[in-house]
Each structure stands twice: as C-alpha cells, then as structure tokens.
Amino acid sequence: MPTFFLDGKEIEFTPGQTIIQAAKNAGIEIAHFCWHPGLSVAGNCRVCLVEVEKAPKGMIACATQATEGMVVYANSPKAVHMRNAVMEFLLINHPLDCPICDEAGECKLQDYAYKYSVGKSRFDEEKVHKDKRIELGPNVMLDQERCICCSRCVRYCEEVVKNPQLTFVNRTEKVAIETFPGKQLDNSYSMNVIEICPVGALTSRDYRFKARVWDMSQTNSICIGCARGCNDVIWVRDNIIKRLTPRENMEVNEYWMCDYGRLNTFKFVNNEETRVNNPMMREEGIDSDGAGLKPVEWDDAIARIISEFKNYRADEIGFIASPYSTLEDNYVLQRFAKEIIGTENIVYLPHIEGEDDNLLLRADKTPNSTGLKHLCINPIDAKFIDKLLNKQIKMIYILNDSLSGLERTEEISKAIEVAVLQTSNFYEMSHKASVILPASTYAEINGTFINFQNRIQRIRPAVAPLEVERLPGDFSVSRLDKFGSHNDKWTKGTRFNSRPAWKVISQIAHVFGSSFDYENTEDVFDEIAVKVPVFAGMSYEMIGEQGMLVGTGETITA
C-alpha cells in the first residue's frame, strides 16, 4: 500500500483517501468539527488545518487527498498556530455557558479549547446574540448561540435521511440553522443530529438537564426496538437509565439509531408504575376476571406453578416463547418444555408492524425472532390457537409477551384455565393470570440476540435489579389497580425483585428432580453451542463488541 508521513510516522492509505481518513484508520485523531466519516466533506470549520511540505499554505486534512511520500505535520508550530487562530475565531461569539450546557464533558469545542486554544480572547465587544431554546421538532432543541455552523446536521438530513429539513439562513455572524418554512425536524432519525453536533447547539428534549455525562456509567448493548438490533450505549445514573445513544457498527447500523429505539426501548425498565416487582399469585377458586392477585414469596409462587403443572397432562400444557427475550432464556424454556414437561406445544408470537424503511427500521419489532427460528421454535399458527379455544391446551406458560395481540383474545383468555406469566411489566391482560413472575429486563442481564441479518450480538447488565423492601403494614392501596391487581408499596429508591428467566425456569426444573446446572448465562450459551449445530464453536468472547454471523465463524469488526 502507498504511504505518507504524519508527524514523522509512516501511515498507510488507500488511494483516494484524505489525510484525516488515513490518520483515523491509523488510530490518530486530527482535530475536526465539520468532518464526519458518514457525511460528505464540507471543509468549512478549518480546524483540521495541517502543514504539508512544499505547500504554500495550510491544507485542510478533511479535503486533501493523501499521496505517496507526502510529508504532513499536524502538530508543528505552524499547524498549532493555525489551529489556535481558528479556535480563537470560533470562540469569539460562542457563549461561556459550559457549566449549564448538556454537552459539557463530551463537547469537541470544549475539549479543543482546553487542548489547542490560547486560553484568552482579544475580543472584548458584546457577543452576537441569537435565539435560544428553539423547539426544532418533537425531540430536538436548538440553541443558535452555541452553533458553530459546521453544517453536519444539514448534510445529515439531506444525505442520510434523504429528507432536507434544516438549512442556513442569513450571512456572516448572523448565520443560523433553521427548519424550512412550515417544517419541523420530525423525521424518524432526527435525534442523530444530537450526536453529530460537535457542540451543545442541538440537544435532546427528553434528556435535557437530567444528568451529567461524568455522573453516568456506560454499558455497550443493543437496541431491542426491532429486528435490526442497532448497537447502542446505555447511560445510567443512580441505577436509572437516562438515555440511549448509538454505537458505531458499520455492519449493522453504521453510526445511527432511530428515534423510536432511543425513546421507546428503555423507559419500561425504569417504570415503577408498571414493573412487576414481586411474584404474585391468585388465590385458588377466585375468578380471573376479579381481584385476587397477591404478592407472595418466590418459593410459594414456584410451588404453585409446579402444583399446576402436575394437574395437567403434557399435551394440555403450552408454552409461549418470546422474541423479546434472549436466546438463553428461550433455550432454557424450550428445554424445560420438552425434557421436563414432555410437550412440543411451544410457539412464539410474531410482531410485524408496517413495512421496513429505507434506512434502519424493520417491520419486525422484535430483537430475536431469528434466534427463535434457529432454536426451531415456530410462530403461533391456527392449529395452536384452535387448541387453546377448544381447551385442548388448558395451561399456558408465557415468557415476556402477551396474548393481547391475537384475534379473539378474550375467548382465548376465558378458555385457558391456568396462565403463568413471566414478565417484567404488567399489561392490559396480565390481571387474568394465575401466577406472575417478575422477569429481569434486557438492561439487567447478560445474553444474546440474533438480528435479521443472522448476526448474533451481546447485551450486558447496565442496571441492577435489587431486592426490594416492603413498607410494613401497608397493603390495601395499590398503584397498579388499573391492571386489576394488588401490590405492596415499596421503599423509595429500590429497584425490582426480578430474576433472569433462565434462572427461574432452571429452579423449577430442579424441583422436578432434573438438573439444569447453569451458574450463569455464559453456561447456558456454552450448552447451546454444543447442542445446537448452527452455534457450534461460538462463545461470548468470540461474539465480542461487534457480533458475529451465526454458522459462519466470521467475527464482525467495524
């Protein structure tokens, strides 16, 4: 490969690459604002100016192609002087509001001001003032004074989303970003402008003023909003998820993430109103349409479930697996159904909504339907529904899903004699269950999902499900009355008494006299890799941060 020299280091490059691209591939960052690897080159911030031997003036690294033998200096006295001059110019009218800016701690302008600026300004006139707190759309807020006019957001809407909604207006120091007349920034991917904005001009209306970046933990995970499985980062403070941001994976979601995934795939984890925070059990003989669900201890709930299993023949018991749950949870459920109960009555419910879009969103709104197919768990069909309606299946065990999406749901629920729900949150039909077990959410466990591309990817615990403490003597008033159930009040600040689904199912199997010897989720996956041929030879370590294709042994790297 051809090479050039950057600050004395020999750098390989592909013909056609710019200096900044080649440097990035070599792990070297050249200061930049307007350049983004997923967007066209604008060349308007000038902070990436470098010194090139034999060139009469500074060259912008984002637009200058590397050539064989080229000698470039990004940190020579001349390059540093040029960068300092650009930084001084950008800071002339920029407000000094880092202490109250949501971008503080992850702001390129803040970082470069400390690293490259001279630390003082020769400009002592009144700064130019512009509009602040502009609601560009339902999810994004604009502060025009902070904008450095890098044009990233404008190019993003035009080039990635293919929906031009932002533009520059006015000239010179009066220039500002606005939406086109009569339009909002309301496309399905609008919130990506928040990440690509190098300063605090564009911020999330949902996340504003909720936390500081240095106060939060970061956990690499994936989005569970659809079958694509965009790579993301879960940001947590005080054991509460504050936001999700996209994580680069060129094979899955590149640099982006949809607004639906950002806003609709984590709030149920924090929702104290709907979370199932203790095992619950209906008193025998009480109609499921009435009250009767009471909080109980785990052992009591498991004993009731085992008792109910023993009341029915194997062919009278059915299992609903979950495309929202991990491969590991579903594998253990399937093994329990076949080996312990001895039934083949196990299906899952598809959730197809609309059509795939042209960027990321999939019509399949589940993260793991492909994983269930690899486990040979089939979608529910008319034959299974007829068994429910005709009371051939009398007991149903539902993992992290709801029958409410089916036609004739009311008839089905009345035909079922015993329903066991293992779920993280209450929903409209949950009050009809005989037993409810609190399941840990995707943000509280380890595990894997397989996206529609046949790529297996890992999730990791970002928050901890802690044991809850009851307030003594207070039982009658429920905050979940709207779900037809009763619950204790809990000490403020505690999380939910949930457990991973595979662990609870293994405990039930143990009581039946069978040994599901799993110490952790990795043990479950290791067994899958032995018993399911398509996963042969795989391990968590091999899957890594970027995932790998199932059945090929090919690890995906960005």
CATH number, domain with residue 82:
3.10.20.740
536 is a domain residue: no
Give the residue-averaged pLDDT of 225-234: 97
546 is a domain residue: no
Q: What contacts 225, CB < 8 A, 6 or more positions away?
A: 258, 260, 261, 264, 265, 365, 367
**One domain, residues 238 and 286:** no
**One domain, residues 157 and 13:** no
State the pTM of this model.
0.91
551 is a domain residue: no
Strand residue runs (E) in 334-454:
346-348, 378-379, 395-399, 418-423, 435-438, 447-450
Identify the DSSP state of 192. Answer: H
Q: What is the pLDDT of residues 421-476, one digit of tens each?
A: 999 999 877 888 999 999 999 999 999 999 999 999 999 999 988 644 443 333 22
113 is a domain residue: yes
pLDDT for the residue 555: 44
Q: Cα–Cα distance between 152 and 195 in angstroms, integer?
A: 10
Q: Cα–Cα distance between 298 and 296 in angstroms, integer?
A: 7
- Domain tally for the chain? 3
Given 56, 91, 126, the domain boundary residue is: 91
**One domain, residues 430 and 487:** yes
Given 67, 91, 115, the domain boundary residue is: 91
| CATH number for the domain that contains residue 442 | 3.40.50.740
548 is a domain residue: no
Q: What is the pLDDT of residues 332-347, one digit of tens each?
A: 999 999 999 999 999 9
430 is a domain residue: yes
435 is a domain residue: yes
| pLDDT higher than 60, residue 96 | yes
Identify the DSSP state of 252. Answer: T
**Residue given tokens 């020999």 in the structure block:** 10
Domain limits at 208? 98-270
Give Cα 377 distance to the centre of its chain.
25
393 is a domain residue: yes
**One domain, residues 373 and 452:** yes
Which range among 255-269, 273-287, 465-479, 484-498 shows the weakest confidence by mean pLDDT?
A: 465-479
